[in-house]
Amino acid sequence: MELKTKKRIYPKEDVCIGCHLCEIYCILAHSGTRDLIKAFKKLDKPSPRVLVEEKDGYYITFALQCRHCDDPLCIKACITGAMHRDENTGYIICDEERCVGCWSCILVCPYGAIRRSEDGKAVSKCDLCIEKGNPVCVENCPNEALELKELEDLA
Amino acid sequence: MRDINIKYLEGEVRIPSACGLLGYINRKGELTSGYHIVDAMSVMRERGNGLGAGFACYGLYPDREDYYAFHLFFEDINAKEETSYLLYRYLDVVQEEKIPTRKVRTIKDPPIIWRYFVKPKEEYLEDEDITEEDFIVRLVMKINSEIKGAYVFSSGKNVGVFKGVGYPEDIGEFYRLEEYYGYTWIAHSRFPTNTPGWWGGAHPFSLLDWTVVHNGEISSYGTNVRYAEMFGYKCTLMTDTEVITYIIDLLLRRHRLPLDIAIKALAPPLYSVIDRLDEEERIKMKAIRAIYQSCLLNGPFAIIVGFKDGIFALNDRIKLRPLVAGEKGDFVYVASEESAIRALSPELDRVWMPRGGEAVVSTLEERGVLV
Amino acid sequence: MRYVIIGNSIASAGCIEGIRRVDSEGEIIIISDEPYHIYSRPLISYWLSKKVKDISYRPVDYYEKYRVTPILGKKVIQVDFESKEVILENGEKIKYDKLLIATGGKPFIPNIPGLDKKNIFTFIRFDDVKKINEVIFDGAKVIVIGAGLSGLKAVEALIKRNCKVTVVELAGRILGSILDEDGARMVQEIFEEKGVIFLLENSVVEIFGEEKVREILLKSGEALPADILIFAIGVVPNVDIFRGTKLKINRGILVNERMETNIPDVYSAGDVVEALDLLTNEDRVIPILPNAYMQGEIAGLNMAGREVKYSGSFSMNSIGFFDVHIMSAGIINPPAEVEVIKRIDLERKIYRKLYIRGGKILGFMFINSIDRTGMIVDLIKNRIDVSNFKDRLLSDNFGFLDLPKEFRKEKILGV
Amino acid sequence: MKTLYESDFIVIRDEIRCIRCKVCVRQCANEVHQYDEEDDRVIAENSRCVGCHRCVTLCPTKAITIIRNPLDFRENYQWTARAIKDIYKQAETGGILLTGMGNDKEYPIYWDRLLINASQVTNPSIDPLREPMELKTFIGRKPEKLEFDNYGRLITEIPPQLELEVPIMFSAMSFGSISINACESLARASVEVGTFWNTGEGGLHKKLYPYKERAIVQCASGRFGVDVEYLNAGSAIEIKIGQGAKPGIGGHLPGEKVGEEVSQTRMIPIGTDAISPAPHHDIYSIEDLRQLIYALKEAVNYKKPVGVKIAAVHNVSAIASGIARAGADYIAIDGFRGGTGAAPTRIRDNVGIPVELALASVDTRLREEGLRNQISLIVGGSIRNSADVIKAIALGADAVYIATSALVALGCHLCQNCHTGKCNWGIATQDPNLVKRLNPDIGAKRASNLLKAWSHEIKEMLGGMGINALESLRGNRLMLRGVGLNEKELEILGIKHAGEGI
């Protein structure tokens, strides 16, 4: 029953170029269309689940997604049970239908990796593109600044 | 001498060719008549097209073994006179004569073929501080490149080359080779793609005691020639055989490389092989490849090289041309085809296919291997 | 091995999931006096406001999947620690090898004359809102006693159900446990914009009515008409059946780091226990949901044989009213010598305030600027010295780039 | 002063495709793209565009294209737009025109007038997939002959050699002129492929020490970063006399590019201009060069080859011969199309000669003097592909240097604005925001892929010529034929015209 994520994305800040393409492709991946232009013209354009950290006058940038922690505080803090671990992949997934937007997960996530959705109704978090197979942020990073690592020793 | 239908001569263009090779040595130095090799060459008729054949014989002039035997072709009497003047000026000529020939129906328009037994005049050697061999080489180059219609095709001691345009058996007949006896015989039958009609272009190519017959067309020719030229060799014939001979002369006579090393320079082991050698050998092989990189004979070839003390035969590194070796008692044979060897000696003690780049070396027992 | 859990809420779920991480074989029995599938108490206000229809905390197949035998709608009246038996009100006795007491909290109701009238409710359990839902009507005058978290969540739901709501609060400000005065005023204004009337520094002294509530009398002498009265003053640990037993109880049940009580094989977790407050270093009841789960999980793991220690916690809350979001954690009413940094934007109703002592954050309260707050909670938890970047803590987009490089790298690459 | 210079490029944005993601805004260091919040549009300032295509490449919807400004001057054979615009620029600045990369003028490219031979019938071609194909090359001084003792043991001591697995090395580019990530990319590719990279006059950054075994350390007129440790760190030392892009002049790294890292590596104070003088002030003649060569050999205990790099100029063959006699282990000749981080445009475009001719004449001259075999010859400054490599080797080079090709592999788009330090591809810049755009993991892979790809092609072509070891192509000019060349050119190149037989 001990379940952990099988994959995790690690950012490489030395080569993150702050282009935000990870966010752009994340939006596409969760937009329900396959066309970027369409996705961006949608009124209910999803918010990105990856966050590019940047700071004025400072050259380091990096992109951060949910770490899919081994000891996930967000699941423990969730008041509805919406936040859960997927049994097949070990990814931490939020069931947006069940989320009521109390943001307890945001209060406890030590990575600040959980965001409110654009409409403020539910949590928007990285699902490692569970339906697509591979995370689009990793695949589309032009400088390979995101590395998807397969994790071993899964119980 | 030049047929009006013949457009190109050796020295004007490179003429690719295929060939049949045969050579043997008696390690005890026992002499055999030229009859045998002439006869054996006939089985490889397929490999020639009648446009060139030749023989080399070691040990044929025992009475004149201290003299360089110059064999020359002259297109006309003027060339002969001009050459004679030069020869008598620089050399002590102990004997000169027409090389005896016989009339053969298929041999057309032979040139004037003459031989001189010579030695450099001491005063020139002293004046110029030059070795006897270098002096001879320079003179041969001078005649071949400067005197129109004259060509030295044999210039070693106790070695003679006999060659011309025709099939080997006809050339053998023409030169009356059954009358010569040698401990080493080398023969060649040629299949040039062009129609050269010049006797000098036939094999063996010879300089001093080196006689070389060759089957192949080396791709490294341009590299080899430009290297040889740096050392004063003039590649007037534009044949692979010529440059191979010069490089052998350079490596063995002038650089005094041991025979096995010189052979490695001509056909070095692959780096994949070198990498597996022990350190000392690896350093040695890499040095050979680095320093003698321009001596590597690349592309298809099989050569038989005769020298005073023996013969060696060598294939290119990946064996793109045929070469087979055989042994019977004191005789060691090498040829393009086993049939030619069997023609000389039907019952052999051993027959083998030398691997690419691995030389067959055989020397007179009493003299040992050249070091 | 038989695990018995009294209580069917968050701590119990933590316990079940903790046990099953280690022991997939043992029998688990869960007992609750409520007849419902495991549900989330905070969701009752959402249910009342009709935002959600289902308040389940775990999927319907949960018990089946975790192989739990539920005994629901049956009250435990006693535990015989000697014979290791749980005794139900129907006399049934259930043997246990390991027991978890997760009875939670029970509403506190002051002793006021008139409490016997109808339409007086508390606001803790599903049954509470189900009953409120039955009597509620458009324009109903509802008086909510208590302006704490659950009181105001009730108010929000009632406003959404078109009730006229008055809040009576004993203290001088609302949300006293999570906000200071400035913050409280800001939030109060939001409620007032929706028509809610706040009566602070006041309390109910008597309730009038025939069968149902009709009017209440305040301490100030004022009388207010009321259709419905809701007590949301707070909860106290639900330890009644254990009073007078060997079980050590202060305000709540006392446990060690392994969530074990003084009685062997008896564990306790959730709103019923006192546990370590990291910031005060004292044991106290911190009745917040994440704690309940984590304590339950620690208890479960230990019950199943894995040695795990509870590292303590501190109070923290995330709560939203209408579209205003509030997060706070740690110490809210600090001693005087504490350094205060804050940013107030009255117009946009943004508030960020932090208390810092010796370079470490003691507590904070944020209104409408809550993204990535978990990072700040983490700084408190890890006692990170923030002296070098404390100004950045007030920024809406505070992030890892504001943290020391080594800490950032370890945090992100070390997972 | 109002400029008369109209922009060279025009940015065309497909408004339907533009999703306002602002990637272009973030990526353009020249600040061409700006987001207008009021109109929710991205607009472009064309005059700043250098045509580097960074925005085009990264735009996720491919909404951007960049075209040459079609604005024409009145047609004039003599007064081209470029000639006119150059005058506008100088009239406005009063300064020397500066540019980056190599000569882009329409001089003949001899590589493209040379054709390669292949075997047919009389000599079999070799299939490199099935047969071994050797590209190993040794760079260093070679003795004229080897000597062995009676036991066949090698007596001759071989001077130090660089052992190359491919006959292609990365030419000198300093840390300073290019970014640390660009340096690291090439250094790692060198390790991976088995060739060498060159520090240029930039010193050896500590981050690059792990790749020092594959480094040629340069000693140029500014002596930046040179000390005994540096000299001993690399596998060879190169004395840089000249550079093809700017023969006869020195170098200048402006102070603003001399940050902490560059300062430490070059051993100069932060913020000071790094000026490499035009000559080495200790080399005023060939005997001075000889002294420096031996001083450097002495410093490394004769353990490493010392080469000399010169620009291809008119008298290059005599100079090369002098260098050979001065004891250098190799000569690197840099042709007039060679690149640079910054050079005066007029010098770049008008000084020096094509490397093909320089190479042919140097090789011939060294052979005439019997020196060719003793010294290695490296050429660079215009090698664009494997065919150029083959041709260079057939003309007589031992190996080639590539720099522009290597940078193009890393992402360079030849915008020729290296001198501005705003390279959007993270190559010719020291701005940390730009440097990180070149991920050395990717860079190393791209650069090594290029060398591997060229190696495959070289092997194919060698096989076609019936050659299975590169040395048999070296100086093998019979493998080349000229097309469209006059007698003099053929004579200098030492080749026949296409159509002439062997």
CA dihedral D443→D446→D452→D454, nearest 10 degrees, is -110
Flag whether residue C43 sits within 8 Å of chain A, measured between CB atoms. yes
Which pLDDT belongs to residue D259?
87
Nearest alpha carbon to residue D279 among D240, D307, D313, D306: D240
Flag whether residue C223 sits within 8 Å of chain A, measured between CB atoms. no
Surface-to-core class of residue B263, CB atoms within 10 Å of its CB (0-12 exposed, 13-18 middle, 19+ buried): buried
Residue whose structure tokens are 């007037």: B236
Pairing of strands C273-277, C253-254: parallel
CB contact under 8 A, C400 and A114: no
Residue whose structure tokens are 């002049």: D249
Q: Are residues D393 and D448 in the same domain?
A: yes
Which residues lie below 8 Å from residue C91, measured CB to CB, with a gap of 6+? none
CB contact under 8 A, A103 and C378: no
B57 is catalytic: no
CB C12 within 8 A of CB C271: no
- Residue B3, pLDDT > 60, answer no
CB A69 within 8 A of CB A9: no
A-D Cβ pairs (cutoff 8 Å, strict): 56
Q: Which residues of A touch D433 (CB under 8 A)?
A: 18, 59
Q: Which residues of A touch D16 (CB under 8 A)?
A: 37
| DSSP codes of every residue in C370-405 | -TTHHHHHHHHHTT---GGGGGGGGSTT--GGGS-H
Q: 10 Å Cβ neighbour count for D273? A: 12
Helix axes D355-368, D316-325, angle to 10 degrees: 50
Which chain B residue is nearest to residue D139, measuring alpha carbons? B290
Quote the DSSP letter at residue A144.
-
Whether A57 is in a domain gets the answer yes
A48: CATH: 3.30.70.20
CB contact under 8 A, C401 and A54: yes
Task: Give the residue from D33, D68, D95 where a domain finishes.
Answer: D95
Which pLDDT belongs to residue B195?
56
Nearest alpha carbon to residue B235 among B52, B75, B1, B10: B10
Compute the distance between CA of residue B267 and CA of residue C248 in angstroms, rounded to an integer. 95
- Residue B368, pLDDT > 80, answer no
Angle at B94 between CA B93 and CA B97, to 5 degrees: 85
CB contact under 8 A, C371 and A101: no
- Residue B5, pLDDT > 50, answer no
Residue range C189-225, pLDDT digits in tens:
999 999 999 999 999 999 999 999 999 999 999 999 9
- Residue B7, pLDDT > 60, answer no
Nearest alpha carbon to residue D400 among D409, D408, D392: D392
Whether B141 is in a domain gets the answer yes
Nearest to D60 among A15, A21, A59 (CB): A21
Biggest distance spanned by C-alpha atoms of chain D: 91
Compute the distance between CA of residue D468 and CA of residue D464 in angstroms, rounded to an integer. 9
Whether D68 is in a domain gets the answer yes
- As given in the structure block, the two tokens for residue A2 are 């001990």
Once rounded to an integer, what is the mean pLDDT over residues A65-73?
A: 93
Instruction: Report long-range pairs for C132-138 (Cβ below 8 Å, ≥24 apart).
Output: C132/C48, C132/C228, C132/C230, C133/C48, C135/C227, C135/C228, C136/C161, C136/C163, C136/C228, C137/C227, C138/C162, C138/C163
Q: Could you give the ipTM of this predicted complex?
A: 0.87
Cα of C345 vs its chain's centroid, Å: 29
Domains in chain C, please, with CATH?
Answer: 2-46+55-106+237-303 (3.50.50.60), 120-231 (3.50.50.60), 323-413 (3.30.390.30)
Q: What is the rounded average pLDDT for all residues in chain C?
A: 94
3-state SS assignment for residue D42: strand
Compute the distance between CA of residue A154 and CA of residue D73 in angstroms, rounded to an integer. 70
CB contact under 8 A, C316 and A80: no
Query: What is the per-residue burial (b if ≥16 Cβ within 10 Å, else e) of D165-185?
Result: bbbbbbbbbbbbbbbbbbbbb
- As given in the structure block, the two tokens for residue C147 are 């302006």
Whether B311 is in a domain gets the answer yes
Task: Give the residue from D68, D95, D122 where a domain finishes.
Answer: D95
CB B101 within 8 A of CB B174: yes
Instruction: Tell me, yes or no, whether chains C and A touch by having 3 or more C-beta pairs under 8 A.
Output: yes
Per-residue pLDDT of chain D (502 residues; tens, 9 = 90+): 899 999 999 999 999 999 999 999 999 999 999 999 999 999 999 999 999 999 999 999 999 999 999 999 999 999 999 999 999 999 999 999 999 999 999 999 999 999 999 998 888 899 999 889 999 999 999 999 999 999 989 999 999 999 999 999 999 999 999 999 999 999 999 999 999 999 998 899 999 999 999 999 999 999 999 999 999 999 999 999 999 999 999 888 888 888 888 999 999 999 888 889 999 999 999 999 999 999 999 999 999 999 999 999 999 999 999 999 999 999 999 999 999 998 999 999 999 999 999 999 999 999 999 999 999 999 999 899 999 999 999 999 999 999 999 999 999 999 999 999 999 999 999 999 999 999 999 999 999 999 999 999 999 999 999 999 999 999 999 999 999 999 999 999 999 999 998 6
Compute the distance between CA of residue B258 and CA of residue B174 in angstroms, rounded to an integer. 38
Which pLDDT belongs to residue D487?
97
Residue range B118-160, pLDDT digits in tens:
999 988 888 778 899 999 999 999 999 899 999 999 999 999 9
Residue A108 structural domain: 7-150
Compute the distance between CA of residue A122 and CA of residue A100 in angstroms, rounded to an integer. 6
Residue whose structure tokens are 């006579």: B253
Q: 10 Å Cβ neighbour count for A43? A: 5
CB contact under 8 A, A36 and D60: yes
Residue range B244-260, pLDDT digits in tens:
999 999 999 999 999 99
CB B137 within 8 A of CB B207: yes
Residue range A119-135, pLDDT digits in tens:
888 899 999 998 888 89
Structural domain tally of chain A?
A: 1
CB contact under 8 A, D439 and A145: yes
Whether A101 is in a domain gets the answer yes
Whether B158 is in a domain gets the answer yes
Q: Which residues of C touch A51 (CB under 8 A)?
A: 399
Q: Which is it for the CA torsion C219, C220, C224, C228, positive or negative?
A: negative
Element (H, E) at C235: strand C235-237
Whether D114 is in a domain gets the answer no
Which pLDDT belongs to residue B13?
61
Compute the distance between CA of residue C59 and CA of residue C39 in angstroms, rounded to an integer. 10
Compute the distance between CA of residue B8 and CA of residue B15 in angstroms, rounded to an integer. 9
Flag whether residue A15 sits within 8 Å of chain D, measured between CB atoms. yes
Q: 10 Å Cβ neighbour count for C392? A: 15
Is residue B17 very low, low, confident or very high in pLDDT (cuts 50, 70, 90)?
A: low
Q: 10 Å Cβ neighbour count for D335? A: 28
Catalytic residue among B19, B57, B235, B295: B19
Residue whose structure tokens are 């580019």: D173
Whether A46 is in a domain gets the answer yes
CB contact under 8 A, A102 and C20: no
Q: What is the rounded average pLDDT for all residues in chain A?
A: 91
Cis peptide before B204 (omega within 30 of 0): yes
Task: Give the residue from D95, D127, D145 where a domain finishes.
Answer: D95
B111: CATH: 3.60.20.10
Structural domain tally of chain D?
A: 2
| Portion 59-118 of A in contact with C at CB < 8 A | 60-62, 64, 67, 69-70, 73, 76-77, 79-81, 98, 100-112, 114-116
More confident residue, A23 or C312: A23
Q: Which residues of D touch B214 (CB under 8 A)?
A: none
Nearest alpha carbon to residue D212 among D237, D176, D179: D237
Nearest alpha carbon to residue D242 among D343, D115, D137: D343
Whether D120 is in a domain gets the answer no
Touching A: which chains, 3+ CB pairs < 8 A? C, D
Whether B293 is in a domain gets the answer no
Residue D85 structural domain: 9-95
Instruction: Tell me, yes or no, whether chains A and B touch by having 3 or more C-beta pairs under 8 A.
Output: no
D76: CATH: 3.30.70.20
Flag whether residue B301 sits within 8 Å of chain D, measured between CB atoms. no
Pairing of strands C235-237, C105-107: antiparallel
Instruction: Report long-range pairs for B40-43 (Cβ below 8 Å, ≥24 apart).
Output: B40/B187, B40/B340, B40/B341, B40/B343, B40/B344, B41/B168, B41/B169, B41/B172, B41/B187, B41/B189, B41/B340, B42/B167, B42/B168, B42/B169, B42/B343, B43/B337, B43/B339, B43/B340, B43/B343
Surface-to-core class of residue B192, CB atoms within 10 Å of its CB (0-12 exposed, 13-18 middle, 19+ buried): buried
- Residue B8, pLDDT > 60, answer no
Flag whether residue B270 sits within 8 Å of chain D, measured between CB atoms. yes
Residue B350 structural domain: 17-216+299-363
Is residue B370 very low, low, confident or very high in pLDDT (cuts 50, 70, 90)?
A: very low
Whether D308 is in a domain gets the answer yes
Instruction: Tell me, yes or no, whether chains C and B touch by having 3 or more C-beta pairs under 8 A.
Output: no
Quote the DSSP letter at residue C40.
-
Nearest to B300 among D123, D136, D150 (CB): D123
B-D Cβ pairs (cutoff 8 Å, strict): 133
CB contact under 8 A, C415 and A8: yes
Which pLDDT belongs to residue C107?
94
Q: Which residues of D touch A59 (CB under 8 A)?
A: 432-433, 436
Which chain B residue is nearest to residue D393, measuring alpha carbons? B223
Whether B70 is in a domain gets the answer yes
Q: Which residues of B touch D502 (CB under 8 A)?
A: 13-16, 238
Q: Are residues D332 and D389 in the same domain?
A: yes
